[in-house]
Structures are given as C-alpha cells and as structure tokens.
Amino acid sequence: MNPALRKTVIAGNWKMHKTPAEAKALLGELLPLVKDAACQVIVCVPFVDLPAALEAAAGTCVAVGAQNCHWETSGAFTGEISPAMLTSMGVSHVILGHSERRTYFGETDQTVNRRLRAALQAGLCPIVCVGESLEQRQQGITQEFVSMQVKIALQGVSREELRRVTFAYEPIWAIGTGRTATAEQAGEVCAGIRATLAALYGKECAQGTTIQYGGSMNAGNAAELLAQEDVDGGLIGGASLKAPDFAAIVAAAR
Ligand code: PGA
C-alpha cells in the first residue's frame, strides 16, 4: 500500500451470513475495535441486514455496502435490487462481479459493466472484483485475463467516475480455500491492474486508484500482503465474520 498516493481500504464481505440480529451483534463487537482505524473500513452485508448495519454504524468510521445491484432503476426484475434502492437507504458501497456471482449466477464481464455504470450513475462507490481460475494461472494467462476483465468492466466509465471505483483482485483458487496467493503473486497482479488502468486513464489516475487483494486474507498474512506497494487493502470473506480477526486485519493496515 502507499497511503501517500491512495486510500487503503479494508472491506468485509459477509456473503450469505448473519441475520439482522446477528449483524447488529457482530457490529456491536467490531465497532469499538476499529474506532481508531488508520484506513477506510467497510462492511458489505446481505441486503436484509442493511437497515441494522446502517443504524449500528451511523456516526462511526465504518461504511456499509451491499454485495450486488442491478443495472436498472426499477422494473420487472424479480429478486433484484436497484442502485437507487441502495442509495435511498444511505448505502455508500457495493461489491460487483464477485467470482461467486460469476460462477453461480451467470454474471459476465458485460453484466458487470452494466451494473458498474448504473451504480456509478446512482452515486455508489463500487468494489469491482476480478481474478483468474487455477487453470488460467497454470496456463500462464493471469495478467491477460485480469486485464481483460478490468477493461470490459470499465467500458464507458469516465476518469471522473473512476475515482469512486475500487478494484479487488481475488484469485478464484484462493477464495474460501485457506490457500492465499503469496504476497509477490498478489503484488504482481495488482501492479498489472494498475498498468491496465494507466493505459486507459493515464498514470496519475492509476496511481490514485485503490486495488485490494482478496482470498483467504487473515490476521496472520495481512501485514505481508499489505506491505506490497500495489496492494492497497483487502476484501475479506471468512475472517470478516469474527470481530477480533477482522479488527486485526484493519490494524495491520497502518
Ligand atoms: P475469503 O473470501 O476471505 O473467505 O477467501 C474473500 C471474498 O470472497 O471476497
């Protein structure tokens, strides 16, 4: 990370965990532990937990995000939530293109692009996830594949809008597997994403963009990953569900 150039952001991705009552309890435990955070802290919670999380986090340094949103403002899209619905509640952030959505729910680079443009238009700050499969890594196409994901996601996104976008490099083989990318692997791909951004928007914009690492990040490996110049934070799944573990990662981001 390089706090002189860009924000360091530690975000929790709760996935499909915690009822509203459990969300309130987890935040009650977490908030005192991260009150002196030196980085930005976000919790991305299930849709039904948003009211409880927003209430608990009000007036604190912790921002609340959702884990997906649709590209239309309203309409016949059963089961979907629009960006305007999120902003109307006071939600500031949204995860887009998580590999679980790509794998299980038919998300493509094109739908990620549509969601990203709509989220930006509504005023949200999106966290866009990219990352290769194990097979792609073994084939030696990681950088090309991730660069393509970044380029398609950003079609039609202006330089001004890019300021609100965070990227999360999440190698699929490292998510929820306990198998973390080495700090060097994480640093290398995050640097590659920055190079892609520089080619699209210029060096200055690229240097100002936060690029997180995600995939089995925990209290034990966070400091080493964050020591990489181009790793500007983390998107944390499993370890974000335990307040002391998540707080330890936040503390490592100094
Ligand atoms: P993990 O998940 O930390 O449990 O590997 C990360 C993510 O999916 O964002």
Flag whether pLDDT at 132 surpasses 90. Answer: yes
pLDDT exceeds 90 at position 135: yes
pTM, 2 dp: 0.97
pLDDT above 90: residue 243: yes
What pLDDT digit, counting tens, does each position of 48-98 carry?
999 999 999 999 999 999 999 999 999 999 999 999 999 999 999 999 999
Mean residue pLDDT across the chain:
97
pLDDT at position 238 over 90 = yes
Q: What is the mean pLDDT of residues 148-169?
A: 98
Residue 114: the pLDDT is 98
> What lines the ligand 1 site, CB under 6 Å?
13, 170, 175-176, 214-217, 235-239
Look-up: residue for tokens 């089961």?
79
Q: What is the mean pLDDT of residues 130-148?
A: 97
Which of 235, 246, 249 is the pocket-test mutation for ligand 1 (most atoms within 8 Å of CB)?
235
Q: Which pLDDT score, from 0 to 100, does residue 69 have?
A: 98
pLDDT tens string 220-235: 999 999 999 999 999 9
**Active-site residue, selected from the candidate residues 70, 93, 98, 100:** 98
- Ligand 1 centroid to Cα of residue 202, in Å, is 30
User: Nearest residue CA, atom 2 of ligand 1?
Assistant: 237
254 pLDDT above the threshold of 90? no
Residue 176 confidence class, pLDDT cut points 50, 70, 90: confident
Q: Which atom of ligand 1 lies nearest, measured to the CA of 218?
A: 3
Please tell me the residue having the least CA distance from ligand 1 atom 7: 237
Closest-CA residue, ligand 1 atom 1, reads 237
* pLDDT attached to residue 178: 85
pLDDT over threshold 90, residue 191: yes
